[in-house]
Amino acid sequence: ARRSGQDLEHAALTMDEVVRALVNPAFAITALVARWHAPTATLAWINCGHPDGYVVDADGATRPLGGPRHPPLGTGEDPPELTTSALTLESGDRLLLVTDGIVERETQDGGRFGVDGLSAPLTATALVPRFDAVAAGGATAAAGAVARLGLGDGAAGKGYAAPGDDGRPGGS
């Protein structure tokens, strides 16, 4: 949709159409469909049943991206009516996008990592580059920033299992 000049609503509706075409009422996809506009430091997004993203400011305060949460893609009788949210990031801001696999991850004590579990790695600010560094490096730097966040070092001693440290596949 971006390359053809279409907006985020069109992109999300196209994805919804593809999921509906699978003709499996038990199948749905959550997604946070987003577009970054570097010249204005603006993030625009549509949340389709996905966990919220977060902004961590230069002082370490964390706030959810917010905005409407639409149903997951492929659900409901008709295509959804979608609303795009937007936010301008300030110098020093960090953006944290997570999957439900992070917030639903089991802890070593058998509980769930949850949104509260995000606070441990977020306090380890050296693990998450500031907005300035990510903006300069583009999408590759942003993907690397999320990958480097990890849950092992920042959450050590807090009962959170680092990926792969429980013997299951998918670890590093």
- Residue 149: per-residue pLDDT: 39
Both tokens assigned to 129: 């580059």
Q: What does each C-alpha distance from 108 to 43, 112, 151, 153 come to in angstroms?
A: 35, 9, 12, 15
- Residue 97: per-residue pLDDT: 86
What span, in angstroms and rounded, lies between the C-alpha atoms of 2 and 123?
A: 34
- Residue 132: per-residue pLDDT: 46
Contact of 46 with 83, CB cutoff 8 Å: yes
Phi, psi dihedral angles at 17 (to 5 degrees): -60, -40
Contact of 110 with 67, CB cutoff 8 Å: no
**Residue whose C-alpha is closest to residue 16's, from 52, 44, 40, 48:** 48
- Residue 12: per-residue pLDDT: 94
Mark the ranges of the chain whose per-residue pLDDT is less than 50: 125-172
- Residue 46: per-residue pLDDT: 96
Q: How many CA atoms lie within 13 A of 79 on its CB side?
A: 14
- Residue 1: per-residue pLDDT: 60
- Residue 153: per-residue pLDDT: 35
Q: How many CA atoms lie within 13 A of 163 on its CB side?
A: 12
Looking at the DSSP bridge assignments, the partners of residue 131 are: none
Predicted TM-score of the model (pTM) = 0.67
